[in-house]
Amino acid sequence: MPLSHTDPSESGFEYGIQRKYSTVRQLLTDLEEVEEVNKQLDQMGYNIGIRLIDEFLAKSNVARCVGFKETAEMIAKMYGSWVVLIIMLEDNPLVDFVELPDTCQGLYYCNILSGVIRGALEMVSMKTEVTWLHDVLRGDDAYEMQVKLLKQVPEEYPYKDDE
């Protein structure tokens, strides 16, 4: 068994946590290499982030942000606190009931979150690199991610206005 998991009482939220656990466990079985699992989790999160922003922009009356700072401030107003583009999670329910064995110490269990952020920011024309700085499952005392803007990507339209 690559991960250990205690069985919490069954509720909708806890079912979601168990699905996440099962997904990571299956990836570890299928891919065998922890680094490949990290990449796959990031890609899954990236796809989720793209869909989240697409839905958010389609259903809200929020104007598109122009720059990285403005986007960070908008997200901070709506979803949490940002400190110099460092995201610190006070609580991370994705890791409730999870312990990493020695064979999985290179695993970033919550890499899906960094993918979500990367995908969401790419949808608003920002190419970013998101890295974990601290992870409680890896022995740190907090969860902390760094979001680094690589480049502002100009929006491209699939066709010209005069066509």
Domains in the chain, start-ordered, CATH in brackets?
9-152 (3.30.1380.20)
Nearest to 142, CA basis, from 75, 72, 95, 102: 95
pLDDT tens-digit series, residues 106-125: 888 888 889 999 998 888 77
Token pair 């929020």 is at which residue?
62
Q: Are 112 and 42 in contact (CB under 8 A)?
A: yes
pLDDT tens-digit series, residues 45-76: 999 988 988 888 788 877 666 666 676 666 65
- Rounded distance between C-alpha atoms, residue 80 and residue 143, angstroms: 14
Q: Are 101 and 3 in contact (CB under 8 A)?
A: yes
3-state secondary structure of 147: strand
- Rounded distance between C-alpha atoms, residue 57 and residue 65, angstroms: 11
pLDDT tens-digit series, residues 133-158: 998 888 888 899 998 877 776 666 55
pLDDT recorded at residue 82: 42
pLDDT recorded at residue 25: 83
H helix runs in the chain, sequence order: 12-31, 34-59, 68-79, 111-123
The answer to whether the pTM exceeds 0.75 is no
Least confident of 12-16, 49-53, 69-73, 78-82: 78-82
pLDDT recorded at residue 131: 92
